[in-house]
């Protein structure tokens, strides 16, 4: 893990190329994280991957989280790993909720990290986060015709009716 001063150095260097990209840095439980503006996500991820001295070439995990009631509400987490130095860094792209009828959008990082393909589909499936430029952004685990984004915090647990043929026949 980069330590807290190391994280500030990374922030400073990213700011040179992408002003305004890093919104905040965090260091908790021995894990470093960068909160970034989603508009710069590809720039920051690409820099962390390719810049000399960085080399976070392995994307361990990509997942989304819903911070309701905080603002901005959503975040896409990129758990990057440098396998030579055995260091992890988390990049969090903070996404505001655009309201009822539209979905939050962010650029897809499949070009940079092909491993993200399934994981971005999963984030889309459960949180309704649209990854622009993804080759095949469809639901992955839920049925194609499913309505709603079930892992959002305002989606009730148990909101899914259990369909028994008996009930349908007699009470349908």
Partner 1 sequence: MAELAERTEVMTVNIGPHHPATHGVLRLVVDLEGEVVKDLRPIIGYVHTGIEKSCEDKSYWKVIPFVERMDYVSYFFQMEAFCGAVERMIELEIPPRAKYLRTIFLELNRIHSHLVWLGTTALDLGAISMLWYCFRERERILDLFEMATGQRMHTRYFQVGGVIEDIPLGFEAKLREFIADMPVRVGQYQALLDRNEVFLSRTKGTGIVSRERLLELGVTGPLLRAAGEPWDLRKAFDYLAYPEMDFKIPVGTVGDNYDRYRVRVAEMVESTRIVEQALDALPEGPFIADDRKYVLPPRSELSTSMESLIHHFKLVTEGYRVGPGELYYAIESPRGELGCFVLADGSAKPARVHFRDPSFVNLQAFRDMSVGSYIADMICSLGMLDPILGGVDR
**Interface residues for partner 1 in 126-165 (CB under 8 A)?**
126, 139-143, 150-151, 153, 155, 157, 160
> Taking a C-beta distance cutoff of 8 angstroms, is the pair 88, 54 a contact?
no
**Interface residues for partner 1 in 77-96 (CB under 8 A)?**
77, 79, 83, 86, 88, 90
Least distance from C-beta 160 to partner 1, angstroms? 8
Greatest C-alpha distance within the chain? 68
Q: Is 11 in the site for partner 1 (CB under 8 A)?
A: no
Q: Is 45 in the site for partner 1 (CB under 8 A)?
A: no
DSSP string, 78-118: EEEEETTTTEEEEEEEEE----TT---EEE--TTT-TTHHH
* 45/59 with CB nearer partner 1: 59
> Any idea what DSSP says for residue 152?
S
Q: Is 118 in the site for partner 1 (CB under 8 A)?
A: yes
Q: Find the binder of partner 1 among 23, 42, 51, 65 (CB under 8 A).
A: 65
β-pairing verdict for 130-132 and 31-36: unpaired
Residues in contact with partner 1, counted by CB under 8 A, come to a total of 39
- Nearest residue to 63 via CA among 13, 141, 129, 9: 129
> Any idea what DSSP says for residue 156?
P
Q: Is 35 in the site for partner 1 (CB under 8 A)?
A: no
* 52/159 with CB nearer partner 1: 159
Q: Find the binder of partner 1 among 113, 120, 129, 137 (CB under 8 A).
A: 113
Least distance from C-beta 131 to partner 1, angstroms? 15
């Amino acid at each position: 893990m980069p330590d807290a001063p190391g994280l500030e150095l990374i922030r400073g260097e990213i700011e040179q190329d992408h002003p305004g990209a890093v919104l905040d840095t965090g260091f908790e439980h021995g894990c470093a994280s960068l909160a970034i503006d989603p508009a710069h996500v590809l720039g920051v991820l690409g820099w962390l991957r390719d810049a000399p001295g960085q080399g976070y070439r392995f994307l361990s995990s990509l997942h989304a989280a819903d911070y309701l009631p905080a603002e901005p509400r959503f975040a896409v987490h990129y758990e990057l790993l440098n396998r030579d130095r055995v260091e992890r860094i988390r990049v969090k792209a903070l996404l505001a909720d655009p309201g009822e009828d539209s979905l939050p959008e962010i650029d897809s990082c499949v070009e940079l990290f092909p491993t993200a393909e399934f994981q971005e589909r999963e984030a889309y499936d459960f949180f309704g986060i649209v990854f622009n430029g993804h080759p095949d952004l469809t639901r992955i685990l839920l049925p194609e015709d499913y309505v709603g984004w079930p892992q959002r915090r305002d989606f009730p647990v148990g909101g899914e009716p259990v369909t028994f043929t008996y009930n349908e026949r007699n009470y349908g």
